[in-house]
Structure 1
Amino acid sequence: MSDNLDALAQKTALRAEMRQRLRAMTPEDRQSLSEEICERVLENDQWQEAQSVILFTPLPSEPIITPLKLDCEARKVAWAAIAQSSRNAADLHLPDAIDLILVPGLAFSKDRHRLGRGGGFFDRLLAGRAAQAFKLGICFSFQLLDTIPTEPHDIVMDAVVTDGDTMM
């Protein structure tokens, strides 16, 4: 039990640190780094092969993914965008088959663990309706850490793409 409490306290502190670092980004940096992330995603084999994709509506501190939406439209890939304000994954209108889901996070580890915002929204979605989908985490390179605290319910990504690297 104390391990879970330790992980929870560590996650809380890390979330605060990452939020502060994200707030310090300039809009210009967010735009240019987002473009680099999108270029890497567009080169990803799983992205290129996917016929149905779940995107997210970015929060102001998250990577801008408009080029990915445009790519889905150009390739006639079935896609849906989820707003993170939707707290009930069961209420989402998602395709029956999901090949790939794009997942934001406050931080990711090099072994592809994810630190979310603390509400469990993506953990529930990834464990449920999107369990079989390729889970592609995206973040800015400063959000990729050596390790992050984890709990048993945390879902590991299949890959994480940053503006500087791809972790498979």
Structure 2
Amino acid sequence: MSADKVTKQQLRAVQEQRLHDFLQREDAEEIANSLYSRLYSDPDYLNSQTIGITLSMPGELDTAPIIDQAHHNGKRIAIPRTLPHRQMAFVLLEPDTELVKTAFGTTEPTSGEIVDKADLEMLIVPGLAFSKNHYRVGYGGGFYDRYLADFAGESLALVLPPQLFEVPTWPVESHDILMDKIIY
């Protein structure tokens, strides 16, 4: 690791604060709306019928507008449920889907129809840092890298200004999975 690289753990701590501070800005909503608009006109989004996405937590880009728009566009939305051994499955989000807050602070479905990975055409991936060459730093659990390892659909991230780096300033590891596309 070169001297100018920070550890992912160090980066996560800094990025959580940077993202929190950014979301307090007056123009944060306008910038988020611009990202949403670019997503809604993206050919991969337009051609996807089943999309995986998280239910955002405070301090993250709000995913509720994306979910609402996708439903309005007749798309199926699936949200993640964590499983043992740092695995996850995506469950169809229906009006009667029961949700619970986990020990990690995420909101997950407790039941519902699991969507086969092959049926997810797009996965909108969360994270704390993204480089323009499509590397990502998540929250440290490795759930998404494991899921993406054999994911055949399109992986995409919506990236707010404080999350964007020209190149990784963190160590890139062999298990890190590149995003197919980032919108910033």
- TM-score for both structures, normalised by structure 2: 0.74
Alpha-carbon distance between aligned partners in 2 of 1:39 and 1:22, rounded to the nearest angstrom: 20
C-alpha displacement at 1:67, in angstroms? 2.4
Amino acid at match of 2:120: I
Gaps of 5+ in 2: 92-113
Residue ranges of structure 1 left out of the alignment (5+ in a row):
163-168
- 8 Å contact from structure 1 (residues 38, 65) kept in 2: no
Amino acid in the other structure paired with 2:10: A
Q: Which residue of 1 aligns with 2:21?
A: 24
> Which of 49, 52, 73 is residue 50 of structure 2 equivalent to?
52
Identity %: 29
RMSD: 2.3
- 1:59-98 paired onto structure 2 within 5 Å: 59-82=57-80, 86=82, 88-93=86-91, 94-96=114-116, 97-98=119-120
Select the structure that is richer in helix.
1
Contact 1:101 / 1:133 at 8 angstroms: preserved in 2? Answer: yes
Shift of 1:63: 0.8
- Paired residues, number: 154
Deviation of 1:29 (Å): 4.1
Moved over 6 A (4+): none
Q: TM-score, normalised on structure 1? A: 0.81
1:5-154 matches, cutoff 5 A? 10-25=7-22, 26=24, 28-82=26-80, 86=82, 88-93=86-91, 94-96=114-116, 97-128=119-150, 131-148=151-168, 149=170, 150-154=172-176
> Does the aligned pair in 1 maintain the 2:52–2:90 contact within 8 Å?
no
| Secondary structure class of the residue paired with 1:57 | coil
Larger radius of gyration: 2
Deviations 1:62-96 (A, max 9, x none): 1112222122212221211236xx35534543422
Tell me which residue corresponds to 1:165.
none
Specify the SS of the correspondent of 1:152.
coil
The DSSP-based 3-state class of the residue aligned with 2:125 is strand
Q: Given that residues 34 and 65 in structure 1 are in contact (C-alpha distance below 8 angstroms), is that contact kept between their aligned partners in structure 2?
A: no
Look up the equivalent residue of 2:50 and give its one-letter code. S
